[in-house]
Amino acid sequence: MGEIAMLANRQKVADLIHFHEVLLIRNLNRASIIVNAYRSIGLQDWSHEGGTWDKGSSKTNDEPKLRRRPMKSIILHTISALALISATTSANAQENVMNDHTASFIEMPAASGQTDAFAEFLAGAAPLVAETEPGTKLWFALQAGDSLAIFDVFEDEAARNAHFSGAVAGALNGNADTLVDGGWDAGVVANINNSDVLSAKAPVDLYSATTATYIRLEAAPGQADNLAALLTAAGPIVADTEPKTLFWAALQIDENNFAIFDIFADNSGREAHFAGQVAGLLNEKASVLVEGGWDDGVVANVSNFDILAIK
């Protein structure tokens, strides 16, 4: 029984260390010092049922002196150390540029024969958003075949409410019966996905973007907090390592549903993103964090769009 407990404890600690390693990937040079030291003194000799052991120094011989410490204490000390690393090495890291911002994504099917007219309508709306909605910080008109979409980011909930009562929403309402399959209620309102921004890479070279991706993610049972933590940590990683990703945002729709939205100048930017550190991390953790895992929970939910207009 003691050996079984030892192995279980060792695995729990190893999993915890690995999780914090990847969350602090942008600080690996310093984080690895503590992580590697922790491994060298801890993971080799965790061997007492109901508790854990670490190595101490021995003045009498070369054998290590063992000292018992509760697992909870060691875990808390390690988390605190890693958090301190994150806080004190942030000079080169991007702040959360959209803290407290909200977002909306609406994918709408064009009515039969109205795809081009609907696309033209949305493309022409960008200047009106820019002129009349100061709280709408980003606004994208998107198209994928006969589906049109809008993704926008607001400085706060009041700005989102102003947007939905503004001139563009009013014009879409007035034309929805003609342009949108299902009209205003079934084709527009029913497809609104509001969210909070968890983390973002600030937009760069915004008007060179031609293509966008929206990915919806459902957290696996009991994993919503961990998925939110991963997505929140990912924004600075994207900013530091993905120059071809021109804007990236992690979103929380509700307690268990999340999304990622990003834009690129061309497909090479998208390919670089999906070969990057954040995609690799999500791929590695998807079997635990995402309902359906990587293939059915992530890849199957990728929606790519052409960008028609940007505010």
DSSP letter for each residue of 102-150: EEEEEEEEBPTT-HHHHHHHHHTTHHHHHHH-TTEEEEEEEEETTEEEE
Q: pLDDT > 70: what percent of the chain?
A: 69
Taking 80 as the threshold, does the pLDDT of residue 44 lie above it? no
Taking 90 as the threshold, does the pLDDT of residue 225 lie above it? yes
Taking 90 as the threshold, does the pLDDT of residue 163 lie above it? yes
Closest to 139 in 3D by CA, of 274, 260, 247: 247
Mean pLDDT for the stretch of residues 68-76: 48
Closest to 248 in 3D by CA, of 223, 274, 224, 227: 274
Q: From CA 31, how far away is CA 215, in angstroms rounded?
A: 30
Q: Are 211 and 266 contacting, i.e. CB atoms less than 8 angstroms apart?
A: yes
Q: From CA 164, how far away is CA 201, in angstroms rounded?
A: 25
Taking 80 as the threshold, does the pLDDT of residue 51 lie above it? no
Q: How confident is the model at residue 98 (pLDDT cuts 50, 70, 90)?
A: confident
The least confident of 17-31, 154-168, 232-246, 262-276 is 17-31
Number of helices (H), then strands (E), belonging to the chain: the values are 11, 10
Instruction: Note the pLDDT of residue 176.
Output: 98
Q: Are 248 and 238 contacting, i.e. CB atoms less than 8 angstroms apart?
A: yes
Taking 50 as the threshold, does the pLDDT of residue 29 lie above it? no
Beta bridge partners of 152: 104, 139
Q: Are 178 and 132 contacting, i.e. CB atoms less than 8 angstroms apart?
A: no
State pLDDT tens for residues 102-122.
Answer: 999 999 999 999 999 999 999
Taking 50 as the threshold, does the pLDDT of residue 286 lie above it? yes
Q: What is the DSSP-derived secondary structure letter of residue 310?
A: E
The set of residues, in sequence order, having a beta carbon less than 8 Å from that of 209 and lying 6+ positions away, is 246, 247, 263, 264, 265, 307, 310
